[in-house]
Amino acid sequence: MHAPTDHLLPSVESCLLRVREGLVKVAGGGNPEADLRNLRAVLLNLLDLIVAGSAEAAAVDELFEAALAYQGEFAHAAKAHSDSAYHFLLRAADRMERALAELRTALQHAKPSARGLREAQDL
């Protein structure tokens, strides 16, 4: 995981921390539907903080798709109780981690939206 950089607005950095927390909840598998809904809301909030181009939007979509895939693998692994299911689960978790890193990279050059600028001034 990349360390926070000075290139991201504090509000964007804070939102990325909430994204990571959301991924941890998805990985826990406690309430998958609610956890995915909450993650999606945080990702949409993140997009609202920036002037999102195609790279940022694609990175957000990939991260959510990775979380969906993980949730599916988690449900499968829980039923299967096998080594192969566990390995699929590890790959799905790795995909989420890579997607989060790619999102952070995509956000490095994102310009703040009007809302993002307002929130930056409020901090």
Query: What is the model's pLDDT at position 5?
Result: 46
Q: What is the pLDDT of residues 56-111, one digit of tens each?
A: 999 999 999 999 998 888 777 777 766 776 777 788 889 999 999 999 999 998 88
Report whether pLDDT(48) > 80: yes
Q: At 20, which CATH number?
A: 1.20.120
Q: What is the pLDDT of residues 14-40, one digit of tens each?
A: 999 999 999 999 988 889 899 999 999
Instruction: Please report whether residue 3 resides in a domain.
Output: no
Q: Which residues contact 59 (CB under 8 A, 6 or more apart)?
A: 99, 102, 103, 105, 106, 107
Instruction: Please report whether residue 2 resides in a domain.
Output: no
Report how many domains make up the chain.
1
Instruction: Please report whether residue 55 resides in a domain.
Output: yes
Query: Which pTM was predicted?
Result: 0.85
Report whether pLDDT(2) > 50: no
Query: What is the model's pLDDT at position 82?
Result: 67
Instruction: Please report whether residue 61 resides in a domain.
Output: yes
Instruction: Please report whether residue 72 resides in a domain.
Output: yes
For 19, other C-beta atoms within 10 Å of its C-beta total 23
Instruction: Please report whether residue 1 resides in a domain.
Output: no
Range of the domain at 101: 10-122
Q: What are phi and psi of 113, to 5 degrees?
A: -80, 175
The Cα–Cα gap between 115 and 121 comes to 10
